[in-house]
Chains A and B, each alone.
Chain A
């Protein structure tokens, strides 16, 4: 069926022929019938990565294949979501090895984006915990791949944005936990310099991320709250929490039923929000025990929060800069503060070492922020791209809807290798997306 499709940022919108499958025979048949497919799960990537002329939805291919409760190894079909993984795994004392800021991500999408989370500096991205993948490639064959079997395909599929084929199933290692709670510590940093020192000081924490007020200037430039967390031990729980130490999350409470009109988000309301968010923590250091749902997924509690940005949508900008490029980071944050276009939640994190074929994370500072889509935004982001490029950084494809192909080609050093592997398994660009065409990855 032809229908209008957009991802989480509500930009861009394309008309696609969307089909789904629930058996391998069905997906093979679909791919044989029509050319130029791109797989799509829950549409939580922000830009144009999972959009295309023909879209294969994996959402009906959502069965769990096996769950080894002893060893924490789970294998699921690609449409199975992280939300469902948690529902099964948590009561048995297992947790996601890596999780992004939302649990509404399919496993296929998690692999294709090679998602990262607050523990990247310690535990890497999702591919570090992925044991094997089965995938229907552009040559019409189904392959199993892992670090040791068809390893080129594995490397190009993790973070490969679906360009090697349709991921069918994913086998991955879970993480042992004794409770579903996180012991968290929040530390206020008066400015960016203080924050970077704190990051270094607390790098042994499993989870760390900072919310940054990108609109504060002068002495308060980069004021922020560093959030640290460790999985809570049984002995730390008291009262009601101790009675149900492995409690699973519940469904979202709020819903944004329609697109907000554009005037709701303006520089004043955003500034006010950021001011309030910073000052809600009275003390310099606050410690508490939070359920994983609140710690990892605060926004999941508001269904359709993307509608707050109104009908035009928004762009999320996420880049990473090498560790020695603090000046570049400051330059970018200064430009944002000047522009007064910061977002509700700007998130800064230090990535640990990683040097994969096409995956986004590499050692350095990563900043992610949302910009409501306005007329002048695209030009402004091009300006930021320039700084990122000069600093030797790059942009996360999962969030991207607009970077230039020149910038992309110069910022992913192993792109040529990636393209060779894509051409091997997807020789006639049977799989391609609006994004891969825009960035000239697929011919």
Chain B
């Protein structure tokens, strides 16, 4: 039976992925900070899908703990998905170093730290799939969220590099740019409904893309178009826009 490791399992996308992979017959390993919450999710999946589920405490910002976390897993997962992220507060981050660092560390450093460990393990075993949840915000820096955006841009570039490195070792790397998703993280924002995906839809798209060995996906097709336009605007014009 195949196993999936979900890093950041209590997020909305994490929960939706857990449900999807459990439904598809995978053994699901949840990793996150809130043990009680993971226990509730695990119980639910066991009853709903008669799935095999375990959960492990994982602290994304405690980089030094990552190796031990990975070594302590009951085995090597077939699929590892890095979901955790922190949207943060753009304006606060402009003024306060702590918020700024929190955004950069969670979305970039922590993700890189844990995926390095997974990548080395997969390279050695010559098999595996790594999936990183990046963001459309990383496609181009905009004044409204460039801390989050730049961290995700770094993460996207990291995943591309990883894909390049691991291809010859039969390891697949998938970059996911979900666009707006209706989650707890975005609940306070006013998101346009046609551009906003439900977490279940994101999970289904990821599962499908991983099976088809896609390299990079937008969940809603419309986002490809939007980002193509945003990326194509010349910088002299772009810098004058309110985006």
Contact partners of B190 in chain A: CB under 8 A = 1-3
A residues 44-83 with Cβ under 8 Å of B? Answer: 60, 63-67
Cβ–Cβ contact A1 & B188, under 8 A: yes
B231 to chain A, nearest CB (A): 28
A residues 7-41 with Cβ under 8 Å of B? Answer: 18-23, 26
Cβ–Cβ contact A23 & B44, under 8 A: no
In the complex where A23-B34, A23-B36, A88-B48 touch, is A63 in contact with B41 (Cβ < 8 A)?
yes
How many A residues are at the interface, by size bracket? 10 to 19
Cβ–Cβ contact A23 & B37, under 8 A: yes
Choose among A18, A19, A26, A66 the residue that contacts B43 (Cβ–Cβ < 8 A): A66
**What is the 8 Å Cβ interface bit string for chain A, positions 206-234, against chain B (1 contact, 0 not)?**
00000000000000000000000000000
In the complex where A63-B40, A65-B40 touch, is A19 in contact with B47 (Cβ < 8 A)?
no
B130 to chain A, nearest CB (A): 26
In the complex where A64-B48, A66-B47, A88-B48 touch, is A20 in contact with B41 (Cβ < 8 A)?
no
Cβ–Cβ contact A19 & B187, under 8 A: yes
Cβ–Cβ contact A60 & B37, under 8 A: no
Interface flag for B184 (CB, 8 Å):
yes
B residues 10-52 with Cβ under 8 Å of A? Answer: 10, 12, 15, 34, 36-37, 40-41, 43-44, 47-48
> What DSSP secondary structure best describes chain B's contact surface?
helix
Tell which of B10, B12, B15, B184 has the most Cβ of chain A within 10 Å.
B184
Q: How far is the CA of A191 from the CA of B15 in the complex (A)?
A: 54
Contact partners of B189 in chain A: CB under 8 A = 1
Return the chain A residue nearest B41 by Cβ.
Answer: A63
Cβ–Cβ contact A1 & B43, under 8 A: no
Cβ–Cβ contact B43 & A60, under 8 A: no
Cβ–Cβ contact A20 & B187, under 8 A: yes
In the complex where A22-B37, A23-B34, A65-B40 touch, is A88 in contact with B47 (Cβ < 8 A)?
yes
Query: Number of A-B pairs whose CB atoms are under 8 Å?
Result: 39
Return the chain B residue nearest A2 by Cβ.
Answer: B190
Return the chain A residue nearest B42 by Cβ.
Answer: A63
Contact partners of A26 in chain B: CB under 8 A = 184
**What is the 8 Å Cβ interface bit string for chain B, positions 162-179, against chain A (1 contact, 0 not)?**
000000000000000000
Contact partners of A23 in chain B: CB under 8 A = 34, 36-37, 40
Contact partners of B37 in chain A: CB under 8 A = 22-23
Q: How far is the CA of A159 from the CA of B1 in the complex (A)?
A: 46
Contact partners of A20 in chain B: CB under 8 A = 184, 187
Cβ–Cβ contact A1 & B47, under 8 A: no
**What is the 8 Å Cβ interface bit string for chain B, positions 186-208, against chain A (1 contact, 0 not)?**
01111000000000000000000
B205 to chain A, nearest CB (A): 19
Choose among B10, B36, B44, B188 the residue that contacts A64 (Cβ–Cβ < 8 A): B44
Return the chain A residue nearest B49 by Cβ.
Answer: A88
B158 to chain A, nearest CB (A): 29
Cβ–Cβ contact A60 & B44, under 8 A: no
Cβ–Cβ contact A64 & B12, under 8 A: no
Cβ–Cβ contact A60 & B184, under 8 A: yes
Return the chain B residue nearest A57 by Cβ.
Answer: B187
Return the chain A residue nearest B199 by Cβ.
Answer: A60
Choose among B10, B41, B47 the residue that contacts A67 (Cβ–Cβ < 8 A): B47
Contact partners of B43 in chain A: CB under 8 A = 63-66
Q: How far is the CA of A438 from the CA of B48 in the complex (A)?
A: 41
Cβ–Cβ contact A60 & B40, under 8 A: no
Contact partners of B10 in chain A: CB under 8 A = 22
B residues 63-105 with Cβ under 8 Å of A? Answer: none
On A, residues with C-beta under 8 Å from B are 1-3, 18-23, 26, 60, 63-67, 88
On B, residues with C-beta under 8 Å from A are 10, 12, 15, 34, 36-37, 40-41, 43-44, 47-48, 184, 187-190
19 contacts between A and B (CB under 8 A): A1-B187, A1-B188, A1-B189, A2-B190, A3-B190, A18-B187, A20-B184, A20-B187, A21-B184, A22-B10, A22-B15, A22-B184, A23-B34, A63-B40, A64-B44, A65-B40, A66-B47, A88-B47, A88-B48
With A2-B190, A18-B187 given, name 20 new contacts (CB 8 A): A1-B187, A1-B189, A20-B184, A20-B187, A22-B184, A23-B34, A23-B37, A23-B40, A60-B12, A60-B184, A63-B40, A63-B41, A63-B43, A64-B44, A64-B47, A64-B48, A65-B40, A65-B44, A66-B43, A67-B47
